[in-house]
Amino acid sequence: MSVDEYITKESKYLMNTYSRLPVVFSRGRGSRLWDIEGKEYLDFLGGLGVANIGHCHPAVVKAVREQMEKLVHVSNLYYTIPQIELAEMLVGISFGDKCFFCNSGAEANEGALKLARKYGKENFGGSKYEVITAFRSFHGRTFTTLAATGQPDKQRPFKPLPPGFKHVPLNDLDALKGCLTENTCAVMLELIQGEGGVYECEMGYIKGVRELCNRENLLLILDEVQTGMGRTGKMFAYEHYDIEPDIMTLAKGLGGGLPIGAFIAREEVARFFKPGDHGSTFGGGPLATLAAVAALKVLREEGLVDNCATLGSYFKQELEKLKERRPIIKEVRGKGLMIGVELHRDLPAGRQGIARDIVLNFFHRGVITDNIGDNIVRFLPPLCITKEEIETVLGIFGEVLDEWKDRLLGEWIDG
């Protein structure tokens, strides 16, 4: 079948929930993808931050293949070794004491919110249930995590949403203080808002939030679904800020490509969950947890977090140089290999949506990336990326921006 035939078939049988690019991928290895026609692509999106160790890492493939032949699934009513081993590893490298495993980032955030409410109600009386999150945040697509998400456009079609959430501007500590009530039990933040446009928490702000939570007996929940597992140049993004959360959520890069999520909490918080309070049929299964054990070993043994820090710094520095030469770039944001490039919005009439056009231009030149809204281009490459691959993408980006200047934006740039 041809690509067009697969696309026609997809539109017939699948719900229309994605704006897909016209490609059918069939193979991946490291930082590369291949489509069914054999064309090679350089993946600078990493499956939306999932492929931290690259595609089909041999260690993960070997672990999964061996586990498939022994035991694929058993209920959480019984013990399995990979689940226990993964929990021990995550506790060993983080602030936390106890883990719960699920299947996705949304499930991880949902579980963290349930734990925070139970902690608040049982620890301080029945009225503490509200959670404060930030505008532009993204915490998932279930009803509760959508209610936590600070993006009205995503919420509007699905209202009414579950109550108990308030939203405040990021990096505005006074706004957060003004939003507290006797019902507040937790503050939930992404240290870098990924889906919202790659906006970072400021150092003074997050330290102030930590102090505020301590003073007001509130839990600090950090959503590290995208920033965790080395993505920002440290194993967890909170390590950049010299603070620790009370609960942290993980997913995306955790499983080496397999679906798995987790939330991790301090013992004094985790102890409020009792048998029957929370659970998952598939969460923490032996296949996904063994894949995560293998992926975590790869991250550490191959020095990928250090590689992310070094090459992420280089990539961002070179993008800043590109900005000096191409004034259409407004700002470069992010840490490690989680980078957003914001383009100026004040384009001529009919020329909005430039970010999507740039993503398409990258795609036709064999590079996979992504846009957030009309004017932000996002890069989330595997952490095993090389300097040469970054230079290739920088070169293409410069050419694409020059084409825009020459063909479409000359009047705006020069005028």
User: Could you read off the pLDDT of 377-405 as tens digits, one per residue?
Assistant: 999 999 999 999 999 999 999 999 888 77
Confidence of residue 263 (pLDDT cuts 50, 70, 90): very high
Q: What is the pLDDT of residue 414?
A: 47
Cβ proximity of 327 and 414 under 8 Å: no
- Of 44, 95, 100, 138, which one is the catalytic site residue? 138
Q: What is the pLDDT of residue 344?
A: 85
Is 252 a catalytic site residue?
yes
C-alpha angle with apex 383: 364 to 107, nearest 5 degrees? 95
Q: What are the tens digits of pLDDT across the range 67-92?
A: 999 999 999 999 999 999 999 999 99
- For the chain, give the mean pLDDT: 95
Is 223 a catalytic site residue?
yes
Q: Is the dihedral of CA 101, 107, 109, 112 positive or negative?
A: negative
- Of 118, 128, 234, 252, which one is the catalytic site residue? 252
Higher pLDDT, 413 or 238: 238
Q: What is the pTM of this model?
A: 0.95
- Of 43, 223, 246, 370, which one is the catalytic site residue? 223
**CB neighbour class for 73 (10 Å; exposed up to 12, middle 13-18, buried from 19):** exposed
Q: What is the pLDDT of residue 59?
A: 98
Q: What is the pLDDT of residue 415?
A: 43
Is 43 a catalytic site residue?
no
Q: What is the pLDDT of residue 350?
A: 56
Confidence of residue 346 (pLDDT cuts 50, 70, 90): low
Q: What is the pLDDT of residue 126?
A: 73
Q: What is the separation, in whole angstroms, between the first and last Cα of the chain? A: 49
Q: What is the mean pLDDT of residues 289-314?
A: 98
Confidence of residue 407 (pLDDT cuts 50, 70, 90): low
Q: What is the pLDDT of residue 124?
A: 87
